[in-house]
Chain A
């Protein structure tokens, strides 16, 4: 190595430094740019779900209000949201949060802004749809699903979690979610606890019930798309699944899958506003907009998650209603997942669940 290489390495280093500095400067400039138009950033789960939201909510909202909607995407990493809020600059103004127990915990942790309910008629919503920090725009359900190749129409198919647990009457492998949420509820229902008396959950009894079904559960799923795939590949005959995923597989991929709504667990997809969001006013305008029954109705055209206002069902045809978890016909067959109970007990239950999983 001589003088020339010494100089070139100098150049090299200063080039990198310059590049780094100009990057920082570039970021700064875009931040300082004044907002020309009113805008907000909505974060959702991506995929076909976000596409449905775009057509049903974002595009009409832009047209009706003139507020630009920027889209972002996450997978429910609340840690990321917390980090953003803690850093004082959340990049998102409205976030589609599922896992309603985590929303309650997020509110407790102080990472969410309270909802301003002026202009929203709380009485128009189904019970369980609203909290001080979240507004639900759809209900989805964790339900029992199967392939109609295994159980053709006209022949008996499982219609309860007790049937799911009954490996003599309905032999074959099963798949349950590798997560205590809703799975413990199903275990209690299978053991004969009536839907109205589920909460507070009898944890000991739930795990005893799980012990009975565990040998037949050949796959514990952890990602929402697995149940449909497991049924399609004939890896198992019965699954618990998010209803929308089964519907997508049945209608778009033409896989003959069916759900049974009996004893399904209804939970919500909600809008939340991160604390310190830059466009709180626009965010609230957006939430008010998507709370209108006529707007909620639009989502059902693109995906089968059920509106949170009963009024939205008035104008839906029978075929569409049959596919929605909160239609007047299907809703009474299911129970509403108690997010509050889970928010209070989750840490302990998760520990016990993990212990149970690795027991032999």
Chain B
């Protein structure tokens, strides 16, 4: 599987035809700092976590037997899926626009997309409150226009959480999609049209399949990141928007039950891996079946 967003063809183009051992050795050395970093700060803690959870295997049974854990897992997955769909729906047209725009417009647009990264997560959440709360701008405007009789409940529920997370995730989706779309040869669309396809048909028969990989990568990234979200659902969600990472936090920080917290984390890791790889598998199968037909 290639790295997120980098089209295999892009890698291919820069690879010279002859390979020398010395050269690949030199390249490998470039990996050392990052790999070392990951070893110390990622693989070791993960191993420690799995070890902690293995100390009390009965905890795995507790996760399965006590329905609240799987229920919260299911809800978190649903929330992440909703965020992923919103991001794809907003991000795909935007990324497509970027491929057709001039470099100057692209730079500007990407700057705008990256804006949320410059603001603190608390400020970002409160910005949503200003818009969405009972006496917020949207409700006030709608009341003023007499479109509604009483304020709508737009925040402290699933809607608030989806709004709050989606726009933080949107840049990831757009950048990944844009990277994959840039490698599509737009001439293919011209050819398809010259052969009688309508604009729309050329788009979804040629362009969309060629960016399928990017869609998959973008969706996986957004889905995985949303799954671990914590602060935004706590501030913008309601009674039911308890995410799985909140359950882990309570065990780790409040109850100091690291073993059970580790078990929950391990289960979360497993479920995300199964979901993401499972979906990729299915999509790949489907595509090869299509190919055969």
Interface residues of A (CB under 8 A from B): 1, 5-6, 9-10, 12-13, 16-17, 20, 76-79, 82, 99, 102, 105-106, 109, 173, 178, 214, 217-220, 222-223, 226, 229, 233-235, 346-347, 350-351, 354-355, 357-358, 360
Please name all residues of chain A whose beta carbon is closer than 8 Å to the beta carbon of B134 when the two chains form the complex: 173, 233-235
Query: Is B71 touching A358 in the complex (CB atoms < 8 A)?
Result: yes
B72 touches A358 (CB 8 A): yes
Asked, given contacts A354-B72, A358-B71, whether A78 binds B256 with beta carbons under 8 Å apart, the answer is: yes
Interface size class of B (residues with CB under 8 A): 35 or more
The 3 closest A-B pairs by CB, nearest first: A13-B29, A16-B33, A6-B26
Q: How far is the CB of B13 from chain A (nearest CB, A)?
A: 14
Known contacts A9-B30, A12-B29; 19 additional CB pairs below 8 A are A9-B29, A13-B29, A13-B30, A20-B33, A20-B36, A82-B258, A102-B255, A109-B256, A223-B234, A223-B235, A233-B129, A234-B134, A235-B156, A346-B254, A347-B255, A350-B254, A357-B240, A358-B68, A358-B72
Using A109-B256, A235-B135 as known contacts, say yes or no to A357 and B32 having CB atoms under 8 A apart: no
Nearest Cβ in chain B — how far from A108, in angstroms? 9
Which residue of A222, A234, A235, A346 is within 8 Å of B235 (Cβ)? A222
Are A350's CB and B250's CB within 8 A?
Answer: yes
The CA-CA distance from A6 to B21 in the complex, in Å, is 11
At the interface, is chain B mostly helix, strand, loop or mixed? helix
**Once bound together, how far apart are the Cα atoms of A66 and B261, in whole Å?**
43
Cβ of A279 to closest chain B Cβ, rounded Å: 24
Provide a sorted-by-A list of 10 A–B residue pairs whose CB atoms are within 8 angstroms: A10-B29, A99-B254, A109-B256, A222-B234, A233-B129, A234-B134, A346-B255, A351-B68, A357-B239, A357-B240
Q: How many A-B residue pairs have CB under 8 A?
A: 101
Cβ of A102 and Cβ of B239 under 8 Å apart?
no
Whether B242 and A17, one on each chain, are in contact in the complex, defined by CB atoms closer than 8 angstroms, is no
Give CA–CA (A20, B41) in the complex, Å: 14
Do the beta carbons of A358 and B30 come within 8 Å of each other?
no
- Which residue of chain B has the shortest Cβ distance to A173 in the bound complex? B134
Contact string against A for B residues 41-71, beta-carbon threshold 8 Å, 1 for contact and 0 otherwise: 0000000000000000000000000111001
Chain A residues near B66: list those with CB within 8 A: 351
Q: Which residues of B contact A1 (CB under 8 A)?
A: 16, 23, 26-27
B156/A13 in contact, CB under 8 A: no
Judge whether A217 and B239 touch: CB under 8 Å.
yes
Shortest distance from the beta carbon of B76 to any chain A beta carbon, whole Å:
11
Q: Determine the residue in chain B with the shortest Cβ distance to A8.
A: B26
Within the complex, the shortest CB–CB distance from A79 to chain B, in Å, comes to 4
Chain A residues, CB < 8 A from B29: 9-10, 12-13
Task: State A278–B255 Cα separation when bound (angstroms).
Answer: 26
Residues of chain A within 8 A (CB-CB) of B252 are 79
- Smallest Cβ distance from A35 to chain B, in angstroms? 29
Interface status of B228 (Cβ within 8 A of chain A): no
Q: Is B286 an interface residue (CB 8 A)?
A: no
Is B238 located at the chain interface by the 8 A CB criterion? Answer: yes
Q: Is B9's CB within 8 Å of the partner chain A?
A: no
B23 near A78 with CB under 8 A, answer no
Taking the nearest CB of chain A, how far is it from the CB of B55, in angstroms? 14
Which residues from B are CB-within-8-Å of A347? 255, 257
Chain B residues with Cβ under 8 A from A235's Cβ?
133-135, 156
Residues of B within 8 A of A214 (CB): 239
A278 to chain B, nearest CB (A): 23
**B68-85 interface (Cβ within 8 A of A):** 68, 71-72, 75
**Which residue of the partner chain B has the closest CB to A99?**
B254
Measured CB to CB, the closest approach of chain A to B267, in angstroms, equals 15
B256 lies within 8 A of A82 (CB):
yes
**A358 and B256 contacting across the interface, CB-CB below 8 Å:** no
B253 within 8 A of A: yes
- For residue B257, which residues in chain A have a CB less than 8 angstroms away from its CB? 347
A10 contact set on B, CB distance < 8 A: 26, 29
* A16 and B239 contact, CB distance less than 8 A: no
- Chain A residues, Cβ within 8 Å of B67: 355
B281 interface residue (CB < 8 Å to A): no
A-contacting residues, B235-275, CB 8 Å:
235, 238-240, 242, 247, 250, 252-258, 261
B161 to chain A, nearest CB (A): 13
| A220 CB, nearest partner CB in chain B, Å | 5
Inter-chain contact B156/A219, CB cutoff 8 Å: yes
How far apart are A178's CB and chain B's nearest CB, in angstroms?
Answer: 7
> Min CB distance, A151 to chain B, in Å?
18
Q: Which residues of B contact A76 (CB under 8 A)?
A: 253
Residue of A nearest to B233 (CB): A222
Asked if residues B32 and A218 are in contact (CB atoms below 8 Å), the reply is no
Q: From residue 158 to 180 of chain B, which have CB atoms closer than 8 A to chain A?
A: none
CA distance A355 to B22 in the complex (A): 60
